[in-house]
Amino acid sequence: MPCFVANVPAVRAQSQEKPKEFVYLRDVDPSILQDIRYASEDNFTGKPVPGYAAAECILLRPVAEALKRIQKDLVRQNLSLKVYDGYRPQCAVQAFAEWTKDGNDDESTRRFYPHLKKSELFAKGYISLASGHSRGNAVDLTMVQLPAQPQPPFDPKRKYGPCTGPAEDRAPDNSVDMGTDFDCFDPRSHTTHPEISPEQQRWRSFLITSMGRYQFKNYAGEWWHFTHQMPGAAALKSYDFPILPRLAAPRSVEPSG
């Protein structure tokens, strides 16, 4: 699956293969729930995003291992992490920018930016030509109460409520109610926004505290976005290899005889 994009200044991997320092989160901790939105139609573009050939979270190994430690803490409190996105190919970042300028403003995706015009998203900083996700140390996530309730399938033909509306009117998500959907381009997504309920504020604060114990820093404009402050983070480069289906680990074979 080609993933290179012309006229993008980011440093890219020389190969389309996953570099060895990147791992599938499922191989590090399969108990962490995943809901990779950009591999589906349930995202602000309304269709699977270039570079996402599989609904898998890929991260640098130290980042994935830090999430495993957080998950261990949360499970003791009947909670689980749920990841929406991890490593993001640079071609996907470019596709987001191009989408804002394509002239189509579909009603089905306007739920992600209910108080803005699509053409404003780039100018207001909600979408950019660079993303920390392409370096492999950023992750978008939330929490789910255990035992996790089944999440109804997303119906692309259904009209869902705005990302800022009541949880029961939004697109299906079995996570705790953080006050907005993931990828909600609205001030209510700011982590400390004052107009969400006290319970929603507590959930956001709890998530930030839980992540902060393991060197994850929240981006104040998005309650779901965290960057791992690993050694050498400032020198990490961006990549553009595609997210491909994960190969199952080989099963051990008992010796015969």
Q: Which residue range is the domain that position 153 belongs to?
A: 22-235
At 38, which amino acid appears? Y
Q: What is the 3-state secondary structure (H, E, C) of 45-109?
A: CCCCCCCECCCCCEEEHHHHHHHHHHHHHHHCCCEEEEEEECCCCHHHHHHHHHHHCCCCCCCCC
Grade residue 102 by pLDDT with cuts at 50, 70 and 90.
Answer: confident
SS (H, E, C) 123-177: CCCCCCCCCHHHHCCEEEEEEEECCCCCCCCCCCCCCCCCCCCCHHHCCCCCCCC
Res 105: pLDDT: 83
> How large a percentage of the chain has pLDDT more than 70?
90
Residue 251 lies in a domain: no
pLDDT (0 to 100) of residue 234: 85
Average pLDDT over residues 124-148: 95
Q: How many domains does the chain have?
A: 1
Is residue 256 included in any domain, yes or no?
Answer: no
C-beta atoms surrounding 168 within 10 Å: 7
Domain assignment of residue 10, yes or no: no
Rounded distance, CA 88 to CA 134, Å? Answer: 5
Q: Do residues 43 and 85 lie in contact, with contact meaning Cβ atoms separated by under 8 Å?
A: no
Does residue 3 fall inside a structural domain?
Answer: no
Q: 217: domain CATH number?
A: 3.30.1380.10
CB 146, CB 92: distance < 8 Å: no
Q: What is the mean pLDDT of the chain?
A: 90
Is 128 inside a domain boundary? yes
Asked whether residue 4 is domain-assigned, the answer is: no
Residue 200 lies in a domain: yes
Per-residue pLDDT of 113-127, as tens digits, reads 999 999 899 888 899
pLDDT on residue 9? 37
Identify whether 241 is part of a domain: no
Give the predicted TM-score (pTM) of the model.
0.91
